[in-house]
Chains A and B, each alone.
Chain A
Amino acid sequence: MAAKNKVNVTINGVQVQVPEDYTVLLAAREAGIDIPTLCYLKDINEVAACRLCVCEAEVNGRPMRNLPTACVLKVEDGMIVRTDTERVRKSVKMNLELILANHNRECLTCTRNQTCELQKLCYEMGIDMERFDGETRSVCYDDLSPSIIRDSTKCVLCGRCVSACAKLQNISVLEFVNRGVNTKVAPGFGYSIKDTDCIYCGQCINVCPVAAIKEKEHIKQVWSAIQDPEKHVVVQTAPAVRAALGEEFGVPMGKAVTGKMVSALKRLGFDKVFDTNFSADLTIMEEGYEFINRVKNNGTLPMITSCSPGWIRYCEVFYPEFIDNLSTCKSPQQMFGAVAKSYYAKKEGISPKDVVCVSVMPCTAKKAECARPEMQVDGNRDVDYVLTTRELAKMINEARIIFDRLPEAEPDPIMGEYTGAGVIFGATGGVMEAALRTVADVLTGKDLKDVDYKAVRGIENFKQASVTLPIGGKDVEVKVGVVSSIAAAEKVLNAIAAGELQIHFLEVMACPGGCVHGGGQPHVSAKERMEKIVRAERAKALYSEDKRLPHRKSHENEEIKMLYKEFFKEPNSPISHKYLHTHYAEQFIYMPDVVERV
């Protein structure tokens, strides 16, 4: 059947046979020819806006009018395409120069220097002068949100962020507003992104080819804390960071760099290098017991995980009726901070005021989470600064550390041990699998050997499974669900609300594929995204680390056991509620009394 659905096309004299639903852009890749693109992002943004992929094409000997755009031009049998003519080359260059004319060309000091797709195109296409100079778009620099900065002077109006917000998350915070020369990408009514329906997931940052959208950096604050002799700076790294950090230093995608990452952090000067996986294990203890209690005592079900701050904000803005379903557990990041400034500080004899807690996260929403007013205990902020994976890479570069020559190192004791259950938190389905490993053991009173709950693995956006567990003296079929991306989560919530879906426990991650694909992860160019499924590659790194670890269940973590023995007594105890649990409230957007507009 394959042969029937294929067509022959000739591109720059190279004949290829490709599926009939291919575009010329994809066919050219098969022929080993790269067509320049800027707005194109496979499956997300195929809109022919930038006009850098223009080509000459003819079908049945009839040349097509003008220069069609390869990203949306469907192949036809016998089609002849040329991308190497003088006419095409001139057009592409001129279109590129016109984009540059309206672009803030401070490349040397730009945060996307060397990861910028526009910069790379200019280099590749040999742009050697700024031919056009004229009126540029009005400036809008929105740095009011705790997570995301928008800089209109860099925007090339490719629309990738608009499409990502609409298609991946179905939120559509960002839109094209105004028209003509005044066109810009922005939320409504000149509001800062902080007062809108934005959940800070950062998927827009991941898809931006330039630096028009970026995270709010905490690098300077972290350097000063490290330099301050009065401060005891502890750092935690989220599971997904090790799965992607290597990409910034030429390590192939999908290879975990845990050991090198730990030694890099030690060299940067952090006083203690711990691991968010430790507090992921702690989260499982708290969340697992919370779940068992809810089932036993007819609490609100389904219980929904609360690790993803993007998801939490989404729930608070759009589905406040589900707030009681949210686990009261803080996220692993916040739990870590609360423990570092209580149990750890006490154990080490340091005043909690002198402990600075830094976290490295694959996430931009974590920056907003750590700034939430309720995320503190006795006046101590749980987490002080959040770095994204990208920011950590920048610090490593700035410190002139040669990453691939680093030795492997282990995290420091007290809050550094972790199990396989903690590691897989970074991939969609991971929290659920980790929870099931512990819940099943606790309820059966056995040390179950089969810990791979494969039904909840994989990169599909919604997965379901059921496990029979003895709860309250009888066997209960516990139905669980795992969903990632807000677009998919919205459908699941609607199904639950309509009574069409009955489950007991739901894991929600705001980003498609979970944290490995978070908004703080290294940039992957549109070209690279044509070749591989980023979230699947990075998830592999986590599952191989899980397999490698001696302990794969959170309750087997010796340091966690010690923490309960010495401090929290037992999961969901009053003291654990004080430090490890939180509350949520409906959030309101586009409020008329907001005066700060951008």
Chain B
Amino acid sequence: MANECNNRNESCIRPDDPRYKELKAYIDSVRDQQGINIMVLQEAQRLFGYVPLEVQKWISLELDDVSVGELYGISTFYSQFNLTKQGKHKISVCLGTACYVKGAQAIVEALQQHLDIEVGGISEDEMFSLEATRCLGCCSLAPVMMIDDDVYAKLYDTKQIPEILDKYYLESELEHEMESEVDA
């Protein structure tokens, strides 16, 4: 992605980012409708992957009568919105009661160490973001972790973690190679 930002967890969407044009086209197509604030935020998140301050400021200027405060209120009420940049893959570790008792905290710590990442943060290579979640509804598999839609069950042994993560690195490399082949 064309992003020269080196600071993790910080946003660097430039004012001339072409995705703003797409967002404006979307806003123009729904402008006459009522209650479009959520829809616009969703579209912005689809385009940018997250809705940081500068995007919300831009939306607030673009929509009449909507303040940054209002948009921020919406984007912190619904868990579907991200205010910070997300990794390519989203790791969710269940910290519900069952998983916690079975040692989920150790998974979180292992991930933090292995990826040099904070809970709620993103790894330096932008491959992974890490989140602690409430019960995922599969307590019999505790302790459980999800990466995107894949479920990793009964992770008693945190030594498995590097291996699991490698799969995603490998996938990414393969994708990359295929892309370069197509280009060639």
Contacts and interface: CB of A to CB of B under 8 A. Distances in A.
A589 B76 CA distance: 20
A186 B72 CA distance: 10
A188 interface: yes
Contact of A176 (B66, B67, B77): B77
B65 A177 contact: no
14 contacts: A170-B65, A172-B70, A173-B67, A175-B69, A175-B72, A177-B73, A177-B77, A178-B76, A178-B77, A179-B76, A187-B72, A188-B73, A189-B68, A189-B72
Contacts of B56: 188-189
A399 B1 CA distance: 67
Contact of B53 (A170, A178, A186, A592): A592
A171 B77 CA distance: 20
B71 A188 contact: yes
Contact of B67 (A172, A177, A179): A172
Contacts of B70: 172, 175
Interface of B: 53-54, 56-57, 65-73, 76-77, 83
Contacts of B66: 172
Contacts of A319: none
Interface residues of A, number: 19
Contacts of A188: 53, 56, 67-69, 71-73
A177 B68 contact: no
A181 to B, nearest CB: 13
Interface of A: 170-179, 186-189, 196-197, 589-590, 592
Task: Tell me whether chain B's interface is mostly helix, strand or loop, or mixed.
Answer: helix
B77 to A, nearest CB: 5
A175 B71 CA distance: 9
A147 B66 CA distance: 24
A196 B54 contact: no
A187 B70 CA distance: 8
Contacts of B54: 592
Contacts of B83: 189
Contacts of A196: 68-69
8 tightest Cβ-Cβ pairs between the two chains A and B: A188-B72, A175-B73, A172-B67, A175-B69, A188-B68, A177-B76, A188-B69, A178-B76
A66 to B, nearest CB: 25
Contacts of A173: 67, 69
Contacts of A178: 76-77
A170, A175, A179, A589: residue with the most chain B Cβ atoms closer than 10 Å = A175
Chain B CB count within 10 A is highest, among A170, A178, A188, for A188
A179 B76 CA distance: 7
A149 B56 CA distance: 25
A590 B52 CA distance: 12
B34 to A, nearest CB: 16
Contacts of A592: 53-54
Nearest to A189: B53
Contacts of B67: 171-173, 175, 188, 197
A270 to B, nearest CB: 40
Nearest to B54: A592
A590 B57 CA distance: 8
A197 B77 contact: no
Given A177-B77, A590-B57, 4 more contacts: A176-B77, A188-B56, A188-B68, A592-B53
